[in-house]
Chain A
């Protein structure tokens, strides 16, 4: 057994050693290239690595409102326990999941529909494409204020139209109601994001071979079958990237809920980022907010891993082949 183990370990260790020397060798061989990227690396370390390190450090301290940051009190993992045990954390996490999943899926599906529609030639296609891109280019803050007034519970345009059409007897309460506020914000977010998905998928549609679609049509495949068996497989890569990017953006959303409701009423529209902001800047609970941020960071890194995997899948396949 030990011999077998020894035999098995021998090549593995030598492979690891040769791999390490190989990496080092390649670094040395490409030292000039590393010099070129050094300034960028230093900037990255200052603006990304240090804040990450400081946030992690801060998450182990308590920061009472009467103490300066340098006088913070060591509490170990208490902040993580506080966050994970907090009922508000559970509510906010559920809100964040609903916000992210609903926004991502609907924005993706609407974007896909819009991309497929705009892929065909028709009169006014350019104008339509420009119009559909407007939500994406409008400032999120400006859009939030406009939507806030559209939704306004007393004087909103949408509520007034609903009353005039006889759909409701009084203006609809979109934003001042715990049951409707999150859905109302998700609609705004989808409106803002679907054109991003549309642009990505329109680019992806350019890669679908026209002759395959024609061949399928000649063979009598229905429109649905042509989409499902020819178009969609070619969109799989770009779809994966689009969905992941949308998910990351939605996990990190701040502007729309912050400007439109500030997380209210009664925390009903708080998502992770707005809640972290309130803990840090509203309540100066920097330690707890940092613990919260570290948890979010872990989630984001996990998503980031899948994003990179999706992006590099083709490269790995080629390297493996």
Chain B
């Protein structure tokens, strides 16, 4: 199970906990229904690092007991599941929690034979598309927040709401629920939600003559800081990512675009209609110009940005050759892991980097501070497209277990936050806040989160058209204005049913 791409057949042995589960279930269900299931667990209007700390560790949950009320623990069945789990680039603790989850799942539902496939982030969508064409899909799939609407609009997914697996919709971020809703119907459950933050190396800042404890407040400041670092030290200032057909690119560029007042469509507005193309707006052009200034004019970002994903920024950052980047809270854990692997002079450099690693809010722009409201959602595939038939009870049991306050929190340990907001009240959330450096910073960015457009064309717009726009401008194949206009025309055409 720990290997990426690996298959992990689960044993189908009936063992224990069934009687206890049934007995406890009735009591627990009553308490859950009264305290959790039909009331919002957290008050989003009070959201702040202080509030998050104040509620952490205030409630206890019995995962097995709750899920027993949805599907009996002795249920015998079969489950196939695809998701993107820990990879080589993930910190060790994520691999460990992943193993613990599968062990706990097998123990709780010992008679559900499970075939789980951990599939690379950049391959999962393609693979699902292909297998669904051949009616050979998995029963349950977890997709990046952007990915589900395409399949829901095509009729591949079943209707699925949190209530179907024993949780109230009110316990999930409204933005996350929007991402699983297509034409008024809910097709999934948000498993985890996160926002990224700006990471910087205080030591490099100091050596470049910048205040080591102050990150750039605005995107214009970030461009200026990046240039100053490059001019003073000869290293890259900001870890720009502009690879084609990769999700990392829009996750880092769209916050900049939104901050300057642009958008792909009107997704940054209060009530988006997704009908107005804004890639050629003044704000979008300003954001693209800022990226151009860093890459072409100042040469203050990695030359390899056009072929890089975020993973390729990790090595230069830990080597002290890159000063700033946008990433998850897990990046700190990853850097600690990398420093642990380094030896000799490299070890000294890596330790200095870890010691000087800082997290701050993503810079503001003239219009707003923005970040991609990220995460993943779990979906049930329509029985017609599932290889070997769909086992509803097994799928529900699994979804209940995975999205419980306990596992929703644990599985998001370093990289994200629980999709089930009740997870913020668990002891495990408290443990995360106590042990994971900078978690409060990334969590504070959540209210600035903007979801990608919830339309079937979103993946093409974000993963193809936006990166193409960046590449056209950064390679000077087109001027900044031409690249923005070209991208806007492509989106117009796409929404109009053309190429």
Contacts and interface: CB of A to CB of B under 8 A. Distances in A.
B304 A68 contact: no
Interface stretch (B8-16, B47-55, B405-413, B466-474): B466-474
A176 B456 contact: no
A65 B460 contact: yes
Contacts of A262: 243-246, 307
B231 to A, nearest CB: 14
Contact of A66 (B153, B245, B463, B472): B153
A204 interface: no
Given A155-B315, A278-B464, A282-B464, A264 B154 contact: no
Interface string A147-165: 0100011110000000000
Interface string B446-487: 000000000011011001100010011011010000000000
Given A262-B245, A268-B475, A282-B463, A65 B457 contact: yes
Contact of A68 (B154, B464, B471): B154
Contacts of A263: 244
B129 A284 contact: yes
Nearest to B132: A68
Contact of B456 (A66, A152, A175, A177): A66
B456 A153 contact: no
A175 B305 CA distance: 10
B303 interface: yes
Nearest to B497: A64
Given A266-B475, A284-B460, A176 B304 contact: yes
Contacts of B475: 177-178, 265-266, 268
Contacts of B244: 262-265
B133 interface: yes
Given A154-B302, A265-B471, A176 B464 contact: no
A65 B307 CA distance: 27
B316 interface: yes
A266 B304 contact: no
B364 interface: no
Given A264-B244, A283-B460, A68 B156 contact: yes
Contact of A178 (B126, B457, B463, B477): B477
B306 interface: yes
B155 interface: yes
Contacts of B150: 65-66, 284
Interface string A245-278: 0000000000000001111111110000000001
Contact of B460 (A68, A177, A266, A282): A282
A261 B305 CA distance: 11
A265 B456 contact: no
B345 interface: no
A266 B303 contact: no
Given A66-B153, A283-B464, A153 B129 contact: no
B341 interface: no
A148 B243 CA distance: 14
Contacts of A282: 126, 245, 460, 463-464
A282 B243 CA distance: 14
A95 interface: no
Given A65-B456, A176-B307, A265-B306, A281 B236 contact: no
A276 B497 CA distance: 19
Nearest to B476: A178
Contacts of A265: 244, 306-307, 471, 474-475
Contacts of B305: 176
Contacts of A261: 307
Nearest to A264: B244
Nearest to A288: B499
A18 interface: no
Q: Please indicate which of the listed interface residues A66, A261, A268, A285 has the most CB atoms of chain B within 10 Å of its own CB.
A: A66
A55 interface: no
Contacts of B306: 175-176, 264-265
Main secondary structure of the interface of A (DSSP, over half): loop
A61 B236 CA distance: 47
Contacts of A177: 475
Given A64-B497, A65-B457, A278-B245, A154 B477 contact: no
A69 interface: yes
Nearest to B304: A153
B302 A266 contact: no
Nearest to B472: A266
B303 A153 contact: yes
A264 B245 CA distance: 10
A171 interface: yes
Contacts of A69: 133
Contact of A82 (B316, B459, B499): B499
A267 to B, nearest CB: 8
Contacts of B499: 82, 86, 285, 288
Interface string B71-89: 0000000000000000000
Contacts of A285: 499
Interface in A281-305: 281-285, 288
Interface in B289-337: 302-307, 315-316, 321
B303 A171 contact: yes
Given A265-B475, A281-B129, A67 B302 contact: no
A263 B467 CA distance: 12
Nearest to A177: B475
A261 B475 CA distance: 14
Contacts of B156: 68
A152 B304 contact: yes
A308 B468 CA distance: 41
A209 B320 CA distance: 64
Nearest to B127: A281
A148 B246 CA distance: 17
Interface in B71-122: none
A137 to B, nearest CB: 23
A154 B129 contact: no
Nearest to A278: B245
Contacts of B302: 153-154
Contacts of A260: 307
B311 to A, nearest CB: 12
A106 to B, nearest CB: 24
Nearest to B301: A154
Contacts of A152: 304
Nearest to A175: B307
Interface of A: 62, 64-69, 82, 86, 148, 152-155, 171, 173, 175-178, 260-268, 278, 281-285, 288
15 contacts: A65-B460, A68-B154, A153-B302, A153-B304, A154-B316, A175-B306, A260-B307, A264-B306, A265-B306, A265-B474, A266-B474, A267-B468, A281-B130, A282-B245, A288-B499
- Going nearest first, the 10 A-B pairs with the smallest beta carbon separation are A153-B303, A66-B456, A265-B306, A266-B471, A66-B153, A153-B304, A176-B306, A65-B456, A266-B475, A281-B126
Given A176-B304, A266-B477, 6 more contacts: A66-B153, A68-B155, A155-B304, A266-B474, A281-B126, A281-B130
